[in-house]
Amino acid sequence: MTFRPLDVRTLREWPLPALAHDADKEERGRVVVVGGSREIAGAVQLAGVAAMRAGAGKLVIATAASVAVQVGRAVPEARVIALPESGSGALRADGLGVLADSLEGAAAVLVGPGLMDPEACVPFIVQLLALCRGIPVVLDAGAMDAVAAMGRFEQPVLVTPHAGEMAHLTGIAKEAIARDPESVARRASAQWNASVALKGAATLVATPDGGGWRHDGGHPGLATSGSGDVLAGLIAGFAARGATLEQACAWGVVLHALAGRTLARSVGAVGYLARELPGVVPGLVEKAARPLRRSPAPKAR
């Protein structure tokens, strides 16, 4: 089965779940973003704001205690939960109890942006996943190290590696991945029972049932610090609104690229910042949701 093209036309033919005009913030879903560290505090901020810009109704950010106050000031829209850290900066599994209330009723969970010492965080992530049964989960950045410990997932999970991260997760050489990324993405998705977004100049989205999408509309300006955190946040935000992980990923990948192209026109081809991407997303969502214009039928002579 070949990977189907993923673009704006795809989104228009695959609309997001409808929101009632009087929908409140609870109906638009609560997204929980887990990650951050004393050295990378901004990643959860970028992801959380992106999730809100995608349309999520409520935001919880669970981050390292050493930066929780800083994050709360930077993102006043969020409830911020301070998580205990180890000496190396890893999040400790014995601190998961403070997250239980926020996970109950969550519509989507994003784990990974800004994690420090990912290997040491694996016990925390594995136990966190056990608390997220039935909740769509996006594993990004350092949280993907939990793949080896899990083997196969028994819940809806999306993993978002670039080629280097995929090489780390699979043991396949980066050069071999570059030669046949579609096969690698498909095999990983089937093996892990998870959707896989293999990021690159062309981004591939593979699903455990053998389906797949290919997006070729990336932009060089998106190769900047924090851009991946924004993409992960967009995906989590669309999932919080009720989209499946596959659909949320499709919308996130296309809108992320369109946001880059939009900023390239106003700022320059490179040099715009990841923090600027979420701000242009709501308008792009509205444009992408508009029905396709059909050419009028020719008049009879």
In CATH, what number does 4-13+28-287 get? Answer: 3.40.1190.20
Residue 23, C-beta contacts closer than 8 angstroms, at least 6 positions apart: 57
pLDDT score recorded for residue 293: 56
What are 146-191's pLDDT values in tens digits? 998 999 999 899 999 999 999 999 999 999 999 999 999 999 999 9
C-beta of residue 206 within 8 angstroms of C-beta of residue 195: yes
Look at residue 23 and tell me whether its pLDDT is greater than 70: no
pLDDT for res 301: 41
In angstroms, rounded to a whole number, what is the distance separating the alpha carbons of residues 77 and 10? 32
Judging by beta carbons within 10 Å of its beta carbon (0-12, 13-18, 19+), is residue 184 exposed, middle or buried?
buried
Mean pLDDT of the region 246-275 = 94
Measure Cα distances from 92 to 27, 67, 81, 148, 165 in Å. Answer: 32, 15, 14, 19, 23
pLDDT of residue 298: 46
Token code pair at residue 74 = 């930077």
- Stated as kind and residue range, the H or E segment containing 213 is strand 212-215
pTM of the predicted protein model? 0.93
Q: Which of 19 and 153 is assigned the larger pLDDT? A: 153
Percent of the chain with pLDDT strictly greater than 90: 76
Span 98-151, pLDDT tens digits:
898 889 889 999 999 999 888 889 999 999 999 998 899 999 999 999 998 999
The pLDDT tens digits for 192-233 are: 999 999 998 899 999 999 999 999 977 888 989 999 999 999
Band (pLDDT 50/70/90 cuts) for residue 295 is: very low
